[in-house]
Amino acid sequence: MWRRRAKGWLIICIVCFMLLMGRLMQIQLFETETFSKHNVNLLEDSVQQRTQELVIDNGRGNFLDRNGTMLTHKKVSVLVLFPFLKKLDWDIKKVSDISGISEFALKNAVDSAKKPFAYGDPAPIELTPSQMERINALNIPGVFAIEKKFERANVPAEQLLGLTGENAAELKKRYPNKELSEKTLIGVSGLEESFDEFLLPEGKSKLVYHVDGGGAPLFGINVKYVDPANPFYPVNVRTTIDKTMQQKAEDLVDKYQIKKGGLVLLNIEDNSVLAMVSRPEVNKKDPYNGTGIANRMLKQQIMGSVFKTVVAAAAIDHNLDDPNRLFDCSKKINGKPELKYDYGMLNFTDSFARSCNRTFGELAKELQKIDPNLLEQYAEKLSLTGSVGWQGDVYHTSDFKQFDNEDKGRVFLSDEARKDPNFAAMSGIGQNEVRATPLAVANMMASIARGGKKESVRTVSKIEYKNGTTMVNFPEQPLKGDSISPYTAMKLQKLLREVVLNPNGTGRWFKELPYEVAGKSGTAETGKYEDGKQLHNKWFAGYFPYQNPKYALVTVNLDVTENEGGVNLLFADMVKMLSEQD
């Protein structure tokens, strides 16, 4: 009996021992980097327990402006101190003399430190090249002057560039075949998301030293520099943004209290984004929730009378722009008396300059009789209804899009509306179901300024390797689809200029600006109310200088009351700012 019991216990012990051995082998040999369902990297965790480190560069690729300036981050020459200095007799006076930081401040910072740190972080004191050289020449263990990468407190064009975050499940979903730490940052919006695969880090650059359980140096005071040492990565994504223009644009948007809206500024020559501002701003405390993360310049909006540019193009091509024909602008679009905007009898050109709804409602109905699809066809010719952002094949990615979350515009939602004269009339003045993104409206103005030539909009010109050589080029690219003729574009140019030159034009405020402006205003009823007041979308879209176009600009303020706006003042100040820079 006792032999059987002993044998049973022996078997149980052997089984337990085998299970223990199997578990140890799983931990030590087979799943060292992907342990458990959470894919814990045991090697990394064990190293972290016995080391302290200061990350100099997280290894993720960088965004540059068109001149090569870093946009989301900046590199700062800083003084780095290690906490083991509190246990050493180091020459604090010399470091103080060179850096200009008091001995008391340095000692206090080291005494309270538990990890290596850049002095003054998150607002570090920047050292000069001479100071860096002299500090490093002291050869004091645990004292370094290095160039460290910091995230900017205020990132320009934040919604356009986008945000990053940690998401282990999404990381695994996107890159199932890549071996990446679950703490790897990934893009969750904007260009950070569109270009995420290019921006993934090869590894971090960091200063490391080994410690015991109490945080004391384990192998002396030698600090190790760890770097992926790859001459090609991380890459730099060179955008077409001009950082100076972008910052001034953001300042002006805030000056005129645009709480929901913003602006788009395009370089007409190569059809690239120079500045893009979206409000509301990203909520720094909770960036991934709320409306601030959305880029409203890429979202479809009710555009109002700006759409009359499309109706005008169709009317010109179908000979409905007879200069001798007069429209009764003393009446509303429905035929009732117009008490507030009674302009009397106006011809086609004056109707456009003064933005007479009656004229363009009638023209839209006449165009519908010719062909119910005409308004949509001309909206497409002027790039309002499709995507306008650069897209194409890049490496193994087919149909890569720079603006991954760009909305498409529209004119009608149903065939019934398309064939209904009343819907056509309301659509002719940019109401009803007519929608377009501010980016598409800016592109329409750029196309007209170029004589009808349509191009895709770029916000990235190329991706560069770390050593400065080009990895991917994003060349100028024609926008697919039909376009308006040079003749029609010329006629539209004159109409848009008349908006400013006409003494009663809706753009007469821009007549005395340093650049000659051509453009179109828009005020759209949104169907929303606040305190019983109808809310509007206020627009001004145009280009300048008129004779030699360089810039297309759209300013928009969304969901404001009739007496609010700011878009004209914002547009005017942007023109002044650009004239001063040129």
Q: What is the pLDDT of residues 538-582, one digit of tens each?
A: 999 999 999 999 999 999 999 999 888 899 999 999 999 999 998
Residue by residue, DSSP assigns 365-430 as HHHHHH-TTHHHHHHHHTTSSS--B-EEEETTEEEEESSTTPPP-BS-SSHHHHH-HHHHHHHHTT
| Mean pLDDT across the chain | 90
Identify the burial level of 414 via C-beta atoms within 10 angstroms of its C-beta, where 0-12 means exposed, 13-18 middle and 19 or more buried: exposed
- Kindly report, residue by residue over 62-111, the tens digit of the pLDDT: 999 999 999 999 999 999 999 989 888 999 999 999 999 999 999 999 99
CA angle 408, 411, 413 (to 5 degrees): 90
Active-site residue list: 305
Quick one: how far is CA 536 from the chain centroid? 25
Residue 249: C-alpha distances to residues 57, 245, 552, 582 (Å): 30, 6, 14, 15
Identify the sign of the CA torsion 522, 424, 316, 441.
Answer: positive
List the chain domain ranges.
48-239, 243-282+297-581
8-state DSSP, 480: S
- Kindly report, residue by residue over 146-180, the tens digit of the pLDDT: 999 999 989 999 999 999 999 999 999 999 988 88
- pLDDT for 40 equals 47
Q: What percent of the chain has pLDDT over 90?
A: 73
Is 145 or 229 the better-scoring residue by pLDDT?
145
Candidates 3.90.1690, 3.90.1310, 3.40.50, 1.10.3470; correct CATH number of 48-239? Answer: 3.90.1310
- Kindly report, residue by residue over 494-540, the tens digit of the pLDDT: 999 999 999 999 999 999 999 999 999 999 999 898 888 999 999 99
Nearest to 437 by CA among 342, 523, 556: 556
- Kindly report, residue by residue over 279-318, the tens digit of the pLDDT: 999 987 887 777 788 999 999 999 999 999 999 999 999 9
Would you say residue 448 has pLDDT above 90? yes
CA atoms of 230 and 173, how far apart (whole Å): 26
- pLDDT for 309 equals 98
CATH architecture of 243-282+297-581: 3-Layer(aba) Sandwich (3.40)
Secondary structure of residue 131 in the 3-state scheme:
helix
For residues 369 and 425, the answer to whether their CB atoms sit within 8 Å is: no
CA atoms of 63 and 71, how far apart (whole Å): 6
Nearest to 377 by CA among 453, 301, 455, 482: 482
Would you say residue 15 has pLDDT above 80? no
Nearest to 441 by CA among 493, 364, 519: 519
